Amino acid sequence: MDEPDKWFFDKINQNLLQLHAISDVLYSGHSKFQSIEILKSPAFGKLLVLDKKIQSAEVDEFIYHEALVHPPMLAHPKPETVFIAGGGEGATLREILKYPSVTKAVMVDIDADVIKVCRDLLPEYHAGAFDDKRSHIYNTDARNWLAESKDKFDVIIIDLTEPAEEGPAYLLYTREFYEIVLSKLSDNGLISVQSGSTSYVELTNIKAVARTLHSIFPIVRIYQADIPSFGGPWGFCVASMKIDPTKLSAKDVDNRIKERGLTNLKYYDGVSHDGMFTFPKHMRLALNKGGRLITDARPLYLYQG
């Protein structure tokens, strides 16, 4: 078999690269915030790449988006209002709108160019979510929008790129931002955060995110999902003042999925829920060591210890 002519180098961390064969470049450009590419991979289908980092892949994006959205949404007794920071592909919005109880979904992504490119070239991702009457899309800074909003939200989902230095997302992982989040959550509200790799040799980001959330919320749970296009297991944190998603049994999760009419989930169910929150001994020990506090004055840039 002939070797592919084009390859994309995805930098997993400073010591590890993942190499993807590329069959086509569907889009390549720059917004005022970041580089944007839509690539075609023989293994993973269409890839959304921002600042040379894969954000999602057509073949397995459902794993990432269902893992990010459904643990907090299922744990809430009746989610009606939801806020998304980021989420340019529209796939997080797609998952939220599967809930009949949702009356308003606000998505704030600073980069209008990402949304336009994804709307045009990744219809499989958003599945028309941008045009749903419950969707409210804003292209501005998510932190400022949330701070100035008078609304309360049942679920707040942070679906952003990693906090790279001077990137558009680094001030949305800090203690000060999570204080804003808490002030905008309803009484039984939950927040979920994409939190970086849970590879045993790459835990800096997720440990810092978890510790920072713990400085605000009494209940913080780390969980993970294996996402092949990301090069391995990927981590998330869910936090709340009152609700602990790990108290739901597999049967509870399956019953809520049925009751809420979620008939087309491909990854998330009761068994998956149990597995996502379960770590082997070496990982529990490593994660329990904790990370450092992320603040506006001392943000967590990518790969910084």
pLDDT attached to residue 232: 87
Three-state secondary structure call for residue 200? coil
**E strands along the chain, which residues?**
6-13, 16-22, 24-30, 35-41, 45-50, 53-57, 81-86, 104-108, 135-138, 153-159, 185-197, 219-227, 232-240
pLDDT attached to residue 305: 44
CA-CA distance, 103 to 93, in Å (whole number)?
13
What's the pLDDT tens digit per position in 134-186?
A: 999 999 999 999 999 999 999 999 998 776 545 557 788 899 999 999 999 99
pTM of the complete model:
0.94
Which of 112, 121, 113 has its CA nearest to residue 39? 121
The top-level CATH class assigned to 6-57 is mainly beta
Given the structure tokens 């790279």, which residue do they identify?
164
What's the pLDDT tens digit per position in 194-236?
A: 998 999 988 988 999 999 999 999 999 999 999 999 988 999 9
What's the pLDDT tens digit per position in 230-286?
A: 988 999 999 999 999 999 999 999 999 999 999 899 999 999 999 999 999 999 999
pLDDT at 302 over 50: no
- CATH number 2.50.20.10 is the correct assignment for the domain at 61-288: no
Query: What's the token pair of residue 289?
Result: 């060591």
Residues that are catalytic: 159
Task: Domain ranges for the chain, please list them.
Answer: 6-57, 61-288
pLDDT attached to residue 238: 98
11 or 263, higher pLDDT: 263
Three-state secondary structure call for residue 108? strand
Query: Is the CB of residue 37 less than 8 Å from the CB of residue 28?
Result: yes
Given the structure tokens 């739901």, which residue do they identify?
248
Write the single-letter amino acid at 134. Answer: R
pLDDT attached to residue 3: 60
Residue 158 half-sphere exposure toward CB, CA atoms < 13 A: 30
Q: How many CB atoms lie within 10 A of CB 264?
A: 7
**Strand duo 219-227 + 153-159: pairing:** unpaired
What's the pLDDT tens digit per position in 34-89?
A: 999 999 999 999 999 998 889 999 999 999 999 999 999 999 999 999 999 999 99
pLDDT attached to residue 16: 77
